[in-house]
Amino acid sequence: MDRREFTKQASKIVLGGSMALSIPSCMHTVNSNDPFFKISLAQWSLHRSLRKRILTTLDFPAKAKKDFDIHAVEYVNQFFLDQARDLIFLDELRQRTSDLNVENILIMIDAEGELGHQDQKMRLQAVENHYKWVEAAQILGCRAIRVNAGGEGDKVEVAKAAQDSLFQLSNFAKDYEINVIVENHGGFSSNGDWLSGIIKKVNLDNCGTLPDFGNFYEYDRYQGVKEMMAFAKGVSAKSNYFDDSGNESEIDYVKMLQIVKDAGYTGYIGIEYEGPDDDEDKGIRLTKALLLKASNQLS
């Protein structure tokens, strides 16, 4: 199926399900104990179960709602790489989330080439490889795709290349009403100043960041999140280890959430448990509890 025919068929699916997709999935009565943000669940939190095929992508939204009382989900393309243009699969997934009243937030994109590649031909191919995920995101009713600004070489040149790719991809995505958001995800992108500088130069409303609490390595994580929050269209609450009090051992969640709150952000914060404990459900519950506890401690 070529892109024109795919888009035509996809539009029929989106229009056919538009009424269900338009219903807010997280309506509730606001009270003083409610956090200033909404909580979503990143599919990566369950990557062991998915890789062992204990869980499938189609079953993921139901698990998020029934096991964790989370009503919004973030997908990872690694778990359905060959199904970006499978309209039957996408329609089934969209229908399941609609029936569950679970909101599809974004798709995290990996393994589609380096947007910061120094070779123009390779870079253009990487950009085009992402097009199908923009289309898939629209079908699912997502609001964004998460991409990487990877590349080898001089950081200034990689930044220029990534800027060019993000500009092209975001221009394509705007016609689908999809945001293109970049995570600090290793390499140069784990420098908050470097990444926020690129987004500022792209200067498109639908191009932003996805600050991850945990992916800064040699860069101060709190400074990095603060720098990225100016362009944030999503936030990722990374967790790995917990102490006996239920706090993340390496990340001060109160400090992180204060930075997020001070930036005026009120959107979704996605739980992304990545710890060594095979009990993924436990890690997800601990992270959710920590987000709520930390929120209550904010000024």
Mean per-residue pLDDT pooled into runs of 10, the chain (299 residues): 54 45 36 86 98 97 98 98 98 98 98 96 98 98 97 96 98 98 96 98 98 95 98 98 97 98 98 93 98 95
Place of tokens 């080439």: 113
- The pLDDT value recorded for residue 299 is 79
- Supply 188's token pair: 């140069």
Task: Provide the domain count of the chain.
Answer: 1
Does residue 228 lie within any of the structural domains? yes
**Does residue 65 form part of some domain?**
yes
pLDDT of residue 27: 37
Let me know if residue 25 belongs to a domain.
no
Q: What pLDDT does residue 25 have?
A: 35
| Domain assignment of residue 27, yes or no | no
Q: For residue 28, tell me if it sits in a domain.
A: no
| Domain span at 40 | 3-20+33-296
Find out whether 136 and 90 touch, Cβ atoms under 8 Å.
yes
Task: List C-alpha distances in Å: 113 to 125, 168, 195.
Answer: 7, 15, 18
Q: Please answer whether residues 131 and 180 qualify as being in contact, where contact means their C-beta atoms are separated by less than 8 angstroms.
A: no
Domain-located, residue 44: yes
pLDDT number for residue 10: 57
Distance between CA atoms of residues 127 and 122, nearest Å: 9
Query: Cα–Cα distances in Å, from 208 out to 147, 168, 169, 198, 222?
Result: 10, 14, 12, 10, 18
pLDDT of residue 33: 77
Write out the E strands in the chain.
Answer: 38-42, 72-76, 103-108, 144-147, 179-183, 207-210, 235-239, 268-273
Q: Which residue has the tokens 């309506």?
A: 27
Determine, yes or no, domain membership for 114.
Answer: yes
Closest by CA position to 149, among listed 221, 104, 210: 210
Q: Which CATH number goes with the domain that contains 144? A: 3.20.20.150
CB-side neighbour CA atoms (13 Å) of 252: 12
Residue 239 domain flag: yes
The continuous run of DSSP H or E covering 99 comes out as: helix 87-100
Q: What does the block give as tokens for 264?
A: 């005026």
Residue 293: name the closest of 218, 220, 233, 239 by CA. 239
Question: Hey, what are 217's tokens?
Answer: 């390595």
Given this model, what pLDDT does residue 232 score?
A: 98
**pLDDT score, position 278:** 85
Q: What local confidence, expressed as pLDDT, does residue 29 receive? A: 42
Strands 179-183 and 144-147: parallel
Q: What is the largest CA-CA distance in the chain?
A: 55
Q: Which residues pair with 239 in a beta bridge?
A: 273
This prediction's pTM? 0.90
Q: What is the percent of the chain with per-residue pLDDT over 90, rounded to a whole number?
A: 87
